């Protein structure tokens, strides 16, 4: 039976490939909500629709709306048949959150609250999926990997607002019996990512001969991240959505807690310097870099994160290509689409 999906942030980096995955592998209809900030571009959705074929145009609707505002009456009526809410839209850049935390509080907390208010009045809602981040747990030292219900330790306003929105989701699940799923995700990379992010920004700087800043710990060791390719993440999101009852059941066996939480992470742990070196090698262009222990524009910068994804593995829900394969595909895409840099 066909489902009606409401997807926030569908014109964003992660959201647009979730639209593509739904169109390619289900008969579901998708309604996208996006305010089209600097991070949201209709070009992404247009590309997805072209790739999916002409028949896909009838399956996608778009609402221009800022979630900081309540959903108006006409929208509520239009969305009344929604079965699934995928809440991916958010403000997500740590440096921006340090400079202006108020925007992140409005976007990520108030925005989630308004969406939950809509959700609790949908009679046919089967799932409210909140997409969160590994950053809520704070830095992970050595080989430590955090489990789904470990204590949070936010180090910047961005991660704090994501953690707060998670707690709102849990409260609404417990109070109003909204079927809910929360996922934490490691760093995501791939095509059509905003050029403020590390990988496209590094591609751009190497091509332009600009110096690259590499954040380090107090011993000058470069920071590192676990990476997952955006297309693999989209597959994981759809897998969890389609199999939510089974996912909920298995997660409850492990934690005896509700709602359901799942960690999503790539297995590739790469330092920022190694990423720059791989990009330089692929481009066949040398680069200059500067090691930076403490960035005045980014206090509270975490050197490493780590997630335990054994629960997702037990569900056979891991989709993850090798980083070198994914980064080469990403670089090729940007070389063919330099306007995105």
Average pLDDT over residues 25-30: 96
Q: Is the pLDDT of residue 89 over 80?
A: yes
Q: What pLDDT score does 7 carry?
A: 98
Q: How far apart are CA 285 and CA 156, in angstroms?
A: 34
| Residue 204 and residue 184 in one domain | no
In a domain, 310, yes or no: no
Q: Are residues 213 and 118 in the same domain?
A: no
Instruction: Let me know whether 165 and 275 are in one domain.
Output: no
Given a contact cutoff of 8 angstroms between Cβ atoms, the answer to whether 7 and 32 are in contact is yes
Q: What is the pTM of this model?
A: 0.95
The enclosing domain of 217 has a CATH number of: 3.90.25.10
φ/ψ (deg, to 5) at 307: -120, 140
309 in any annotated domain: no
CA geometry: angle 16, 228, 105, nearest 5 deg: 60
59 shares its domain with 176: yes
Kindly report the number of other CB atoms within 10 A of residue 98's CB atom. 19
Report residue 133's pLDDT band, with 50, 70 and 90 as the boundaries: very high
327 within domain boundaries: yes
User: Which residues belong to the active site?
Assistant: 134-135, 158
Provide the pLDDT for residue 56. Answer: 86
How far does Cα 27 stand from its chain's mean position? 24
Domain assignment present for residue 45? The answer is: yes
Q: Strands 224-229 and 268-271: what pairing?
A: antiparallel
% of the chain at pLDDT higher than 70: 98
**Based on the structure, what is the number of domains in the chain?**
2
pLDDT digits (tens, 9 = 90+) for 207-246: 999 999 898 888 888 888 999 999 999 999 999 999 999 9
Q: Give the number of C-alpha atoms closer than 13 A to the C-alpha of residue 339, restricted to the C-beta side.
A: 3
Same domain, 274 and 205: yes
Residue 142 is part of which domain span?
4-189+226-264
Q: Which pLDDT score, from 0 to 100, does residue 218 have? A: 80
Residues 208 and 136 both lie in one domain: no
Beta bridge partners of 307: 146
Exposed (0-12), middle (13-18) or buried (19+): which is 143, by Cβ within 10 Å?
Answer: exposed
258 and 216 in one domain?
no
Residue carrying structure tokens 């409850």 = 252
Q: Are strands 84-87 and 4-8 parallel, antiparallel or unpaired?
A: parallel
Inform me whether the pLDDT recorded for 139 exceeds 80.
yes
180-185 sheet: strands from edge to edge:
60-64, 29-34, 4-8, 84-87, 127-133, 180-185, 260-264
121 and 236 part of one domain = yes
pLDDT tens-digit series, residues 149-158: 999 999 999 9
Residues 182 and 203 grouped into a single domain? no
Q: Specify if 311 maps to a domain.
A: no
- Tell me, yes or no, whether 125 lies in a domain: yes
Q: Please tell me the predicted confidence (pLDDT) of residue 300.
A: 56
Asked, for residue 315, whether it belongs to a domain, the answer is: no
Assign residue 32 the CATH number of its domain. Answer: 3.40.50.720
In a domain? residue 317: no
Residues 166 and 101 in one domain: yes
Are residue 220 and residue 232 in the same domain, yes or no? no
Please check whether residues 126 and 230 belong to one and the same domain: yes
């Amino acid at each position: 039976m066909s489902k009606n999906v409401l997807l926030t942030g569908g014109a964003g980096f992660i959201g647009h490939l979730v639209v593509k995955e739904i169109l390619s592998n289900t008969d579901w209809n998708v309604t996208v909500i996006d305010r089209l900030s600097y991070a949201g571009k209709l070009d992404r959705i247009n590309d997805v629709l072209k790739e999916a074929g002409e028949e896909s145009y009838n399956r996608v609707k778009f609402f221009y709306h800022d979630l900081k505002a309540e959903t108006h009456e006409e929208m509520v009526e239009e969305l009344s048949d929604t079965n699934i809410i995928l809440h991916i839209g958010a403000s997500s850049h740590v440096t921006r959150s340090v400079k202006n935390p108020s925007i992140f509080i409005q976007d990520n907390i108030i925005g989630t609250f308004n969406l939950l208010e809509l959700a609790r009045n949908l009679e046919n809602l089967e799932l409210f999926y909140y997409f969160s981040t590994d950053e809520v747990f704070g830095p992970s030292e050595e080989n430590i990997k955090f489990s789904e219900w470990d204590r949070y330790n936010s180090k910047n306003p961005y991660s704090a607002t994501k953690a707060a929105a998670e707690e709102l989701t849990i409260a609404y699940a417990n109070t109003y019996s909204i079927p809910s799923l929360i996922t934490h995700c490691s760093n995501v990379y791939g095509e059509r990512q905003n050029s403020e992010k590390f990988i496209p920004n590094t591609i751009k700087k190497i091509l332009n001969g600009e110096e690259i800043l590499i954040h380090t710990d107090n011993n000058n060791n470069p920071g590192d991240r676990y990476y997952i390719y955006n297309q693999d993440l989209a597959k994981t999101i759809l897998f969890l959505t389609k199999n939510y009852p089974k996912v909920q059941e298995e997660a409850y066996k492990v934690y005896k807690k509700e709602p359901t939480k799942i960690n999503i992470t790539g297995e590739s742990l790469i330092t920022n310097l190694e990423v720059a070196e791989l990009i330089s090698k692929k481009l066949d262009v040398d680069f200059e870099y500067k090691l930076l222990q403490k960035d005045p524009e980014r206090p509270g910068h975490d050197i490493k994160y780590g997630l335990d994804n054994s629960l997702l593995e037990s569900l056979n829900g891991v989709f993850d290509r090798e980083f070198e394969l994914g980064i080469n595909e990403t670089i090729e895409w940007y070389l063919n689409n330099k306007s995105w840099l």
